[in-house]
Amino acid sequence: MGAFYDEIADLAVEMIEEFGQELTLKRVTEDAYDPATGESTPGVTETQPVKAIVLPASKGTVESFDNRLVDGTLIESNIRALKIAAKGLLWPPGPGCVVEYEGQDWKMLGATPSSPAGTALVYSASIMR
């Protein structure tokens, strides 16, 4: 990462720390197969703290889903948008990850990096409970 992008990444972390909060991101690794023993080892849950700003779902976010109701509940109340600082992450967020928010596990629907020159600075993600 160049000096300019280091500075921008530091600024993103600083702003997110000021206006956001620390959340826990979890993922389960895939099962591992050992051909020598013929046994499979179950995946492990990995966790990492992330600095993020949590935003309510916008009208555009909700309208991008074909079905606005899940089990009779408007999904707007069950979706949040996140801005996650990329600097210092052990692994990138993505579909299948889980975010601990408000004492509950929220499923990550997707995450898109803002990556000028190939350097991720911030991830925009959506989560659903």
Pull the structure tokens for residue 2: 């160049």
Q: Are strands 122-128 and 79-85 parallel, antiparallel or unpaired?
A: antiparallel
Alpha-helix runs per DSSP H in the chain: 3-19, 59-63
Quote the pLDDT of residue 67: 46
Quote the pLDDT of residue 129: 85
Q: What is the pLDDT of residues 69-113, one digit of tens each?
A: 455 555 556 788 999 999 999 999 999 899 999 999 999 988 999
Quote the pLDDT of residue 71: 53
The whole-angstrom separation of Cα 48 and Cα 34 is: 27
Q: Comparing 109 with 47, which gets the higher pLDDT?
A: 47
Secondary structure letter of residue 119 according to DSSP: -
The whole-angstrom separation of Cα 31 and Cα 44 is: 8
Alpha-helix runs per DSSP H in 39-98: 59-63
Q: Is the pTM of this model over 0.85?
A: no
